[in-house]
Amino acid sequence: MNGIFCVFEGIDGSGKSTQSRMLYEFTLNHGINSLLLHEPTEGFFGKKIREILKSNTLPPVLQQIDLFIKDRHDDVELNIKPALTRGDVIIMDRYFYSNAAYQGGVEFDAIDIIKMNIDEGFPLPHRVYFIDILPQEAMDRIQLRRNGNIELFEKIDFLTKVRDNYLKLIDERFLVIDGNRDINEIHREIKDDFLKLLKIHGRIM
Ligand code: ADP
Ligand code: TYD
């Protein structure tokens, strides 16, 4: 499995979709075989999750963890492992760090949820681009984007907990990015790091 696996993480509205798309376009423009993925997926469990997020009631935390893991299992088998075997670059908008940050709390510690995912045999990414913004800024962006149509997880207290969980997960795989800057400036920082990653893996001189 000699592909290169990059993951974007951050609270809702932090700019993951914007930045993962920009990095994907960069790879396409440079003839690099790549795949842009997103979790929750468009698959069976991903659709179930989206229905729940649009409703007004969340299942118990263990059930939430289980649903996201089932969705991820399909993603790993169908998309991630084959792409890594082909040697492609994978760019992911959310992965199991979201599971830990969003479902982590009093019942299950964020670090324990990472362990549950690793025990499933899900591959570790080479790089995690963690786009950090304050929950208030995220809420302002979400309100603009959705015209006031807010999902269950999009509440300031909840996003504060999620951000605190992310901060606990930071390790050597993470690049912490200040998301309160111009979109192109953030892209440049990510692109520079990505090029270094390609070099380390012998893809470019
Ligand atoms: P996420 O995928 O993390 O939820 P998005 O990429 O969808 O975030 O961005 C959320 C909203 O904020 C969008 O309307 C997007 O255009 C805007 N946005 C993204 N990055 C920035 C930035 N650096 N500065 C200001 N607004 C941004
Ligand atoms: P997403 O569609 O990425 O939302 P956004 O574009 O607004 O960031 O994800 C939907 C929600 O699912 C988001 O609030 C984060 C949440 N989520 C979890 O709670 N656990 C997980 O394991 C994943 C992958 C996502």
The candidate with the shortest Cα–Cα distance to 90, out of 23, 184, 151, 42, is 23
Read off the pLDDT band of 148 (50, 70, 90): low
Q: Which domains are assigned to the chain?
A: 4-200 (3.40.50.300)
Report the pLDDT value the prediction gives residue 16, as an integer from 0 to 100.
98
The candidate with the shortest Cα–Cα distance to 104, out of 52, 49, 164, 38, is 164
Q: Average pLDDT of the chain?
A: 96
Q: What value does the mean pLDDT take over residues 148-160? A: 84
> Ligand 2: which residues within 6 Å by Cβ?
12, 17, 39-40, 53, 68, 94, 98-99, 102-103, 153
Report the pLDDT value the prediction gives residue 1, as an integer from 0 to 100.
73
Could you tell which of 93, 132, 141, 180 is best to mutate to test the pocket of ligand 1, judged by most ligand atoms within 8 Å of the CB? 141
Instruction: Give the pLDDT confidence of 15-67 residue by residue, as tens digits.
Output: 999 999 999 999 999 999 999 999 999 999 999 999 999 997 999 999 999 99
> Ligand 1: which residues within 6 Å by Cβ?
10, 12-18, 141, 145, 179, 181, 183, 186
Q: How far is the CA of 13 from the centre of ligand 1 (A)?
A: 5
Instruction: Give the pLDDT confidence of 68-99 residue by residue, as tens digits.
Output: 999 999 999 999 999 999 999 999 999 999 99
Residues in Cβ contact with 23 at an 8 Å cutoff, skipping those fewer than 6 apart: 6, 91, 187, 190, 191, 194
Tell me the CA distances in angstroms from 75 to 7, 18, 47, 146, one per residue in order. Answer: 14, 21, 13, 27
